[in-house]
Structure 1
Amino acid sequence: MPEIRGLRRGRAKKNAAPAESPALKLDPGAVPPAPDTMPMPVLRVGTSTIAAAPDRDLVRVRGTVRDVRRVQIGDGPALEADLCDETGSVVLVWLGRDRITGLETGVCLAAEGRIARHDGRRVLYHPRYELVPQACG
């Protein structure tokens, strides 16, 4: 079999530093914002009623939070919230969270994600959300 030359594995030079990109430089003294204070991206899809929102499609629903509870899923905490409108309800689930600032019973909220079915419930895992200041109607 002929010898193949010119192919190497790993870095071209031993102990060579990786190329630096100006876009990847971080201020070593910078502290990232807390997740609860980070701005949420603009929701990208039109709002649907909860009952009309199809499973497994990207949906945006809006309603009133009826219940917020901390649960244990596996070895970690999770936060669940029941979001209801005049047509139905969906459970919002954030794994690894035990609280979200501003998320409480009675607030109006818009949520975006893919609806799944779990144990007979419609669930949005880790939805993008927006607290809506005006009352839901």
Structure 2
Amino acid sequence: MTSTLITLIIAAVIVVFGLTTGLILILNVTKKLRTGKETMEIRKEILKYGSPAKAIIQDIAETSSSMHGRPGVRLDLFVTQEDGQTFQSVVTTFIPVIHIPKFQKGCEIDVKYMGEGNVRKVEVEDAYVI
């Protein structure tokens, strides 16, 4: 009789552990999806309302991610604002395959930025945003 009770307790612990881990996993996935959606909304806002600028690609590196067949890249940019001021920025984005020739080291690209001082968020105009 005690072995049956022990077996039931072990089974209950396993079920509770499984449900708890599943709930934690679902909450984390939901949080990441929400964060990703918020990030995309910010990116769209920068592209819609941001100040236009030109940027020279100092370095480009492919990331291990892709989105809908578009490769992820990390761009080190030297951005020149319309008033002539400059700043450095690093942008991780996705570019359509057709635009790859425009995204080479030394090429000038169109960007938009928001923010002031040392805190500026930059987005690439020809990048892929859902």
Shorter chain as denominator, the TM-score bin is 0.3 to 0.5
The TM-score with structure 2 as length reference comes to: 0.38
Where relative contact order (Cα < 8 A, 6+ residues apart) is larger, the structure is 2
Q: Between Structure 1 and Structure 2, which shows a larger proportion of helix residues?
A: 2
TM-score (norm. length: structure 1) = 0.36
